[in-house]
Amino acid sequence: MAEVLLHGLTVDPSSRVPVYRQIADGIRLGLEQGRFQPGLRLPATRDLARALDVNRNTVVAAYDALAREGLVSSHTGRGTFLAEPRIPEAEADPFAHVFARAVEGSKVASLLSVYRTAISKEGISFAGSFPAADLMPVEAFRRAMAAVLRERGEELLSYGPTAGHFPLRETIAEGMRRRGSRVDAEGVLVTNGSQQGLELVFRTFVDPGDTVLVEDLTYTGALSVLASLDARAVGVPGDDEGIRPDLLGRALERHRPSLLYVQPTFHNPTARVMGEARRREVLALAARHGCIVVEDDWGGDLRLEGQDLPTLHALDASGRVVYLSTFSKKLLPGLRLGWVAAAPPVLERLVALKQVADCGTSPLLQAALHRFLHEGGLEDHLRRVKRVYRERRDAMLAALQRHLGDRATWTRPEGGLFVWTRLRHGLDTSALFAEAAERGVLFSRGELFHADGLARDCMRLTYAGVTPEQIEQGMEILGELVRAREGKPEAAPLEADAVPIL
Amino acid sequence: MAEVLLHGLTVDPSSRVPVYRQIADGIRLGLEQGRFQPGLRLPATRDLARALDVNRNTVVAAYDALAREGLVSSHTGRGTFLAEPRIPEAEADPFAHVFARAVEGSKVASLLSVYRTAISKEGISFAGSFPAADLMPVEAFRRAMAAVLRERGEELLSYGPTAGHFPLRETIAEGMRRRGSRVDAEGVLVTNGSQQGLELVFRTFVDPGDTVLVEDLTYTGALSVLASLDARAVGVPGDDEGIRPDLLGRALERHRPSLLYVQPTFHNPTARVMGEARRREVLALAARHGCIVVEDDWGGDLRLEGQDLPTLHALDASGRVVYLSTFSKKLLPGLRLGWVAAAPPVLERLVALKQVADCGTSPLLQAALHRFLHEGGLEDHLRRVKRVYRERRDAMLAALQRHLGDRATWTRPEGGLFVWTRLRHGLDTSALFAEAAERGVLFSRGELFHADGLARDCMRLTYAGVTPEQIEQGMEILGELVRAREGKPEAAPLEADAVPIL
């Protein structure tokens, strides 16, 4: 029995009630009895853990439980506070009961937790899916920017067309045509990264309550958009070749969704590639059920080996594929430039929503990117980064073999930025995540990518932004921690430590 | 009787059925009888008008009516086409019945028509609310951009924080504190122009079907966001001092809205300023009814005479004012940079939605703007443009007196970019708009700014982007056309010719 920082709060390790629950209940009781005042800042988890002589994760789990129950609120960098009473007067709290459903308490917390960043510049990060910062073509881009500002500054610093800078739309369409798509500049909308593309596309097709089919493992940013629209994401399982046609057919019949969202190439998070026959099957199924297909091809240009496959957009003749891509992963994330290509009735709606959303993307950034592309900057850059990514991928695969060879399985990525790893014995990566973070190693937890929050025994390990030496060091630490965790009880999930999943 | 381009289509000028209705019905009949095939491109309005010997606007009105009924579709630059049959097989039209309610046929048409641009570079444009392009500080911005790319290119071309580039947030907060607000950098979210700010704010508070109070004359971009969210905008009339407290009180009681959207300073479109006493009254009413106030202060820095008034945000101690502004109107529209300042529970939600919307605004643009501001660029620029705007405003007021003195009323703007003008005798500006456009003169029609589409006898005349000579020429033409229209029957509205209302 310990009596500590929060006056009257005790735990009994011999009780059958889990310790985290005892802590949470104790705090709730104190609040109800008036011993703890609303607004009180709770002790740091580390301090309370030490005082109560429990594992720090236990305190984190207790705070998490209280947060889910709306009894405490967390503010990044400031701490965790006991919540104000539920029904304040309008005068006292102008924000009581006024928020839209999509951003009510628990919902906004889950949106935020997914993105909260825990990336330390000093550690080794396999988290996020950032391209390598040290390989960015900063100088070539700087020249392109200087040139367009000199030549057309006044025009580019004025409002531009909502659908995008026309020469950039032409260049994008040309690139897609080289890969077999039938598309011209008028069929392309420039967006603020493919995240905005996703949001505009989903808003074009999805009403609140609608069901959208996704791969059961999928891009978290897509799940967030669907959540913010009050839509239901139904995950369809896949195999090594991508989404399973038998299960897709059943899901299409059962849910009659208007949309299917897929990443056929270097799928995030698994890095798998959908074969050509599978692509055709998926398209045929979608056509049979009158379902629009949203193809997210964020990484198609990042092939490290093997042959390019046709995109769904190139294989489709009906116009039912809405295609998304981005310059963030293959070039410069800080430009925030991506695009959507779609048939005219869809594009017209996307442009209307884009106008409502932000009146169009900066013409200056678009023109500078166009100049950079026009001068061949992307080809040079891709040649350079792919050589490095190949080396880093191989280092990651070798390190996995060395340090987790007998304790995990993974696939060999033909391209993209990361490796997907599943731990044997269903080991939950939540506790592992916290322990690794304390040792300066970060990864992305599998459950962030799962439509139903499963895949807790998985990790996404991004190799693109780390050197072979960092990979070896980081994986050695992960291997050591995985072995140490075996046989230990599972800790509660650490929502507050989630890393961004871009 | 005339038989013409569309086989079998005739009109009877002596009929009591309006001619535009006869044309529309004739086309519908041809479609139903199979004489006209779906997909048929209709004749240009000018050609059909000539062939039928009717006014061109009559044909425009007929096509408009058919578009509202879903029987034709227009594609900018390509023409107007007879629509495909309503219930095609899923195989034939992948887009049948799949769009979200917010972008269904008629709704997306109305969103788009508002923004469709008819601005000719050769004519004289009093439309839009663009700052003067020739006064832009292009060279100083170019230097700022070059400096930040040289010094921190790698960082600024990577992903940045969702809420914005911290030094820019600091500078923005500092500027607001100088005007009396209690706010720090953490209370500021950088957005892609204030249009994105508006969308994020409305999404934070508004569920489908909710009522939002607006000034009856208001910014069209705000009305568009509310329409896209399936919200109901209820317009509260104002007087010379802004929204009327008696009517606001009644509307608050009757509708119990969670939000009130206002522009207290240089209100768009009327340019009026809400006095300080009125500001306090509005805040007190909002507090009494537990209503959040969204203050859009896009133009507060563009005061041309008189004393600055405190913003609602500065007058409010409760945190119920959500404040929006932008660098588009006072500096460079092409940066697409604006901001929202709000209390922590609101800002937290805005940041979550911003992350979902586009993962954050380009750090490069933000850093370049910050550098520009840091070097005093904004003060220099404002001094320069305000001198010019004063001259142009005075030229506009003088030209109004000269050419419309006996036929219109207007107010003298103390700041901002435009003058609001009401024509006597309720003259509808739709036909005037078309006639003026043919003579190369553009303005923004009043009804675009009215929550219920009223104010058809009003025009917004932007002086900021035109020289005194252009103002004199353009107003002379408008004066002539207004006099010529007197006594003529009103033509149908010209939706297709709407100009952007930024």
Give the one of A154, A333, A348 whose C-beta lies nearest to B133's C-beta: A154
Which candidate from A207, A334, A348 shows the least CB-CB separation from B363? Answer: A334
Q: Is B80 exposed, middle or buried (0-12, 13-18, 19+ CB in 10 A)?
A: buried
Report yes or no: A462 and A502 within 8 Å, Cβ to Cβ. no
Q: What would the 3-class secondary structure string for B342-383 be? A: CCHHHHHHHHHHHHHHHCCCCHHHHHHHHHHHHCCHHHHHHH
The band of B499, judged by pLDDT with boundaries at 50, 70 and 90, is very low
How many C-alpha atoms does A19 have within 13 Å on its Cβ side? 20
For B78-99, how does the pLDDT look when each residue is reduced to its tens digit (9 = 90+)? 788 888 654 334 445 777 778 8
CATH code for the domain defined by B19-98: 1.10.10.10
DSSP A3-26: --SSTT----TTSSS-HHHHHHHH
Q: Which residue of A has its CA nearest to B258?
A: A98
**What is chain A's pLDDT, residue by residue, as a tens digit (502 residues)?**
333 467 778 888 877 677 888 888 888 888 877 788 888 888 888 889 888 888 887 888 888 878 777 788 877 667 888 886 543 344 457 777 788 887 876 677 666 655 554 444 568 999 987 788 889 999 999 999 999 999 999 999 999 999 999 999 999 999 999 999 999 999 999 999 999 999 999 999 999 889 999 999 999 999 999 999 989 999 999 999 999 999 999 999 999 999 999 999 999 999 999 999 999 999 999 999 999 999 999 999 999 999 999 999 999 989 999 999 999 999 999 999 999 999 999 999 999 999 999 999 999 999 999 999 999 999 999 999 999 999 999 999 999 999 999 999 999 999 999 999 999 888 889 889 888 988 999 999 999 999 988 899 999 999 999 999 999 999 999 999 999 988 665 544 444 333 333 3
Q: Is B86 on the interface with A (CB under 8 A)?
A: no
Interface test with A, best of B196, B201, B318, B336 (most A CBs within 10 A): B336
Q: Which residues of B9-47 are buried (b: 16+ CB within 10 A; e: fewer)?
A: bebeeeeeeebbbbbbebbbebbeeeebeeebebbebee
Shortest Cα–Cα distance, A484 to chain B (Å): 35
Does the beta-carbon distance from A357 to B199 stay under 8 Å?
A: yes
**CATH superfamily, region B124-135+380-497:** Aspartate Aminotransferase, domain 1 (3.90.1150.10)
Contact between B361 and A192 using a beta-carbon 8 Å cutoff: yes
- Note whether A75 contacts B: Cβ–Cβ < 8 A: yes
Beta bridge mates, B294: B261, B322
CA distance A58 to chain B (A): 27
Q: Torsions phi, psi of B339, nearest 5?
A: -155, 165
Between CA B206 and CA B214 the distance in angstroms is 13
A145 to chain B, any CB pair closer than 8 A? The answer is yes
Helical ranges in A137-266 per DSSP H: 138-156, 166-178, 193-205, 220-228, 245-255
Stronger pLDDT, B491 or B31, i.e. the higher one: B31
- A284 in contact with B, Cβ within 8 Å: no
Specify the DSSP element, H or E, that contains A211.
Answer: strand A211-215
**Given an 8 Å threshold on Cβ–Cβ distance, is A358 in contact with B192?**
yes
Nearest CA to B356 among A195, A279, A124?
A: A195
- Judging contacts by C-beta atoms under 8 Å, the chain B residues touching residue A157 are 136, 138, 141, 332-335
- Preferred mutation among B150, B157, B316, B351 to probe A, highest tally of A CBs within 10 A: B157
- Tell me which of A143, A313, A356 to substitute to probe the interface with B (most B C-beta atoms closer than 10 Å): A356
B359 chain-A contacts, CB cut-off 8 A: 192-193, 195, 221, 336, 502
Q: Taking CB atoms and an 8 Å limit, are A157 and B228 in contact across chains?
A: no
Give the per-residue pLDDT at A58: 83
CATH class of this structure's domain A124-135+383-497? alpha beta
Any idea which architecture B139-378 has in CATH?
Answer: 3-Layer(aba) Sandwich (3.40)
Residues of chain A with C-beta less than 8 angstroms from the C-beta of B364: 334-335, 365
Say how far apart CA B12 and CA A225 lie, in whole Å.
54
User: Where along chain B do its domains lie?
Assistant: 19-98, 124-135+380-497, 139-378
DSSP H or E run through A346: helix A344-358
Q: Please, how many CA atoms are within 13 Å of residue B190, restricted to the half-sphere of its CB?
A: 31
Q: Quote the CA–CA distance of B148 and B156 in Å, as a whole number.
A: 8
Give residue B77's pLDDT: 67
Determine what percent of chain A falls in helix, strand and coil, rounding each to the nearest 5.
45, 15, 40
Sheet with B211-215, strands from edge to edge, namely: B188-191, B338-341, B321-326, B292-296, B259-262, B211-215, B232-236
Contact flag A136-B154 (C-beta cutoff 8 Å): yes
CATH architecture of A138-378: 3-Layer(aba) Sandwich (3.40)
The alpha carbon of residue A16 is apart from the nearest alpha carbon of chain B, in Å, by: 38
Contacts of A195 by beta carbon, 8 Å cutoff, 6+ apart: A221, A225, A338, B356, B357, B358, B359
CB burial readout B54-74, b (16+ within 10 A) else e: bbbbbbbbbbbbbbeeebbbb
**Structure tokens given for A296:** 């997210």
What pTM value is reported for the model? 0.81
Q: Which residue of A has its CA nearest to B290?
A: A90
Taking contacts as CB-CB distances below 8 angstroms, the residues of chain A near B208 are: 208
Residues of B with Cβ-Cβ distance to A149 under 8 angstroms = 138, 141-142, 145
The residue of chain B with its CA nearest to that of A336 is: B362
Describe the strand order of the beta sheet including A259-262 as a list of residue ranges.
A188-191, A338-341, A321-326, A292-296, A259-262, A211-215, A232-236
B196 contact residues in A (CB cutoff 8 A): 357-358
What would the two tokens of residue B169 be?
């947030």
**B292 and A95: CB-CB below 8 Å?**
yes
Verify whether the Cβ–Cβ distance A358 to B320 is below 8 Å: no
Nearest-by-Cβ selection for B336 from A108, A343, A362: A362
The whole-angstrom distance between A326's CA and the closest CA on chain B is 12
Residue-wise pLDDT for B312-354, tens only, equals 999 998 999 999 999 999 999 999 999 999 999 999 999 999 9
Which residues of chain A neighbour B319 with C-beta distances below 8 Å? 94-95
